Amino acid sequence: MLYKLSKGVNKLANKKDINENINESDKVFRKVVLSWYPGHMAKTRKQIKEDLKLIDIVIELLDARIPIASRNPDIEEITKGKKKIVILNKCDLSEEKENQRWLSYFAKKGIPAVLTDSQSGTGIGQVVSKIEEVMKDKKEEMDSKGRTGRKIRAMILGIPNVGKSSFINRISKRTLAGVGNKPGVTKQKQWIRINEKVELLDTPGVLWPKFENNEVALHLAFTGSIKEDVLDRIEVAYELTKYLLEEYPEKICQRYQLKEEYIKEVMGQDFQPENQNIYEIMQEIGRKRGCIISGGNIDDEKTAKILLDEFKNGVLGKITIEKADSKN
């Protein structure tokens, strides 16, 4: 649950205020995220159904740190009957052991998966090989019918901020095919030549019409897949800090020069209200990073931005938010 954090002078609301505001804050949160669905995404979803008529295989691009939250829950239904592979992108930002567990997770579901880092190009070659492997029977069938010049047609699907543009640039070696008079090509679409056998139909990223729970929305907010003006930055940073203190306390200590003894002491204290333990540590991080304003108070907004940006950019180290073991 998200807690109501104060703004302005950067003091936590008292217990009475929090108890009165927790439910209301949670209701507001749910109302915002459950109804957030940009109009162009509704249009995109409809367009994808049309585009699938042209496609042989779907490439679903996920964030390796949040493989479940970054999956569009409608994709299974929309792409039913099509071959599919999953790309766990940004694998350089997630734990290696968790990356391997996620590969096993998808393998058990019969979905081939590949780890990639679009920035460095890691794993991109494996994607092309995996496409050809999965489509081997289909290609042989086309060849037997005399359609030897027909390329395997693929579609990339991914929610915002999973690195789709970087992935496309890498896999196409930054050489985009021109928009021509091929079937289905419009001003909004591009056929992208990968090699002699494979071409991609680029489409805008898709996000679902509603979030299934607060956890999914938070995980998307952590990684920047939800615009910052949709959720309160301080509240999101609070939840991220809470998670990191539970799962990766050593990374918090190392990055922000906090002693383990200090963390244990603060977390062990019986603060009232209950969320002040986490907030106290956020305040200390703000002090360490120089987020001080008039009167010696801490700038919560600046502190929150630092925490979120440093997580998103991998400055805190390799972190996996969603564990494969918990999803089995």
What does the domain layout of the chain look like in residue ranges? 15-35+211-327, 40-202
Answer yes or no: are the C-beta atoms of 222 and 313 closer than 8 Å. no
At residue 207, the pLDDT reads: 66
At residue 10, the pLDDT reads: 40
At residue 208, the pLDDT reads: 67
Q: What string of DSSP letters covers 248-276?
A: -HHHHHHHHT--HHHHHHHHHS--SSTTH
**Helix/strand/coil percent split, the chain, to 5:** 50, 10, 40
Q: In this prediction, what percent of the chain has a pLDDT beyond 90?
A: 48
Answer yes or no: are the C-beta atoms of 36 and 208 closer than 8 Å. no
Higher pLDDT, 228 or 144: 144
- Check pLDDT > 70 for residue 98: yes
Summarised one tens digit per residue, pLDDT across range 140-168 is 888 888 887 788 999 998 888 888 888 98
At residue 305, the pLDDT reads: 96
Residue 122 DSSP one-character state: B
* Residues 6 or more apart in contact with residue 208 via CB below 8 angstroms: 37, 72, 73, 74
pTM, two decimal places: 0.83
From CA 216, how far away is CA 34, in angstroms rounded?
A: 11
| Class of the domain covering 40-202 | alpha beta
- Check pLDDT > 60 for residue 175: no
| Cis before 160 (ω within 30) | no
CA distances from 38 to 35, 82, 156, 206 (A): 9, 27, 20, 10
Helix (H, G, I), strand (E, B) or coil at 10: coil
At residue 188, the pLDDT reads: 53
Answer yes or no: are the C-beta atoms of 324 and 258 closer than 8 Å. no
Mean pLDDT, rounded, for 287-303: 95
Least Cα distance to 237 among 268, 279, 176 occurs for 279
Summarised one tens digit per residue, pLDDT across range 209-225 is 567 778 888 999 999 88
With bands split at pLDDT 50, 70 and 90, how would you rate the model's confidence at 31? low
| Amino acid type, 116 | T
Summarised one tens digit per residue, pLDDT across range 113-122 is 999 999 999 9
Higher pLDDT, 271 or 288: 288
| Amino acid type, 99 | N
| Cis before 273 (ω within 30) | yes
- Check pLDDT > 60 for residue 182: no
Summarised one tens digit per residue, pLDDT across range 255-268 is 999 999 999 999 88
CATH number of 15-35+211-327, picked from 2.60.40.1190, 1.10.1580.10, 3.30.70.1560, 3.40.50.300: 1.10.1580.10
Mean pLDDT, rounded, for 81-94: 96
From CA 161, how far away is CA 171, in angstroms rounded?
A: 17
Residue 292 DSSP one-character state: B
With bands split at pLDDT 50, 70 and 90, how would you rate the model's confidence at 132? very high
Q: Which strand (E) or helix (H) includes residue 168?
A: helix 164-171
Token representation of residue 145: 């019918």
